[in-house]
Amino acid sequence: MSLSVKEKNHFRLVFLGAAGVGKTSLIHRFLQDTFEPKHKRTVEELHSTEYENTDGEEVKIEVLDTTGSYEFPAMRKLSMRSGDAFALVYSVDNPDSFEIVRRLREEILDVKEEKCPPMVVVGNKKDNVDAQKVFRDDAMATVELEWNCRLLETSAKENLNVTEVFRELLREINLPGRLSPALRRRRETIPNNEQSLKPPMNKTNSCSIC
């Protein structure tokens, strides 16, 4: 029998998308406040951190950075099965990467057998001057009107809306309301300009989503 959100103390956020759209950059910008301009291929990398809920119990949050390669379909399906919430990442200067997000969404719906699994669509590389406004508007209409999902345009390079992606993922799994008052106050102090610094983290660290 599956556990309800209330009973769970372990959640996994899964980042999916084509190669080179900036999944790793978004995660590293959030967790370590670093940005590496040179693309490095990711096979799979798992980060973890912890909250304390209102009952004083630890809640473990994992962030899974997946490969953008379609050479590993079994690994991708396993990531989807294990995920509690999904960030589907594309690049605002690459329409083909949005089509991959479209296919990934359909695959998640099939694997999870849910009509509306917790999901946020992320249009990264907003800082790119070559981004096409018509494509961006069409993508937003598709995501918000057809898919009924939240779309956030981000820039890992400029640290734009990166924190909001993680906030939204936690909202999707109804986790923020379960945090202790002290952690809620800390979360509310994050500036909207996304300039707050995050403590560095390799694999395990204290929570920086607050």
Q: What is the DSSP string of 109-128?
A: HHHHT-SS-SEEEEEE-TT-
Kindly state the average pLDDT of the residues 69-86: 86
Between these two residues, 70 and 102, which has the higher pLDDT value?
102
pTM: 0.78
Contact of 30 with 166, CB cutoff 8 Å: yes
What pLDDT is recorded for position 128?
Answer: 85
Give pLDDT, residue 198: 37
- Please tell me whether residue 201 adopts helix, strand or coil conformation: coil
How far is residue 172 from each of residues 86, 93, 98, 129, measured CA to CA in Å? 9, 27, 21, 31
Q: Are 161 and 154 in contact (CB under 8 A)?
A: yes
Decide: helix, strand or coil at residue 31: helix
Query: What residue segments make up the domains of the chain, in order of their start?
Result: 10-206
Confidence at residue 6, expressed as pLDDT on a 0 to 100 scale: 52
For β-strands 10-17 and 44-52, DSSP reports them as unpaired
The structure tokens listed for 184 are 């809620």
User: For residue 184, what pLDDT is reported?
Assistant: 45
- Region 188-199: what's the mean pLDDT? 38
Least confident of 4-8, 23-27, 63-67, 76-80: 4-8
Average pLDDT, stretch 26-40?
83
Element (H, E) at 97: helix 95-112
Model confidence band, residue 58 (pLDDT cutoffs 50, 70, 90): confident
Superfamily per CATH, domain 10-206 = P-loop containing nucleotide triphosphate hydrolases (3.40.50.300)
* Maximum mean pLDDT: which of 3-17, 64-78, 152-166: 152-166
pLDDT confidence of residue 186 = 41
Token pair for 169? 């993922």
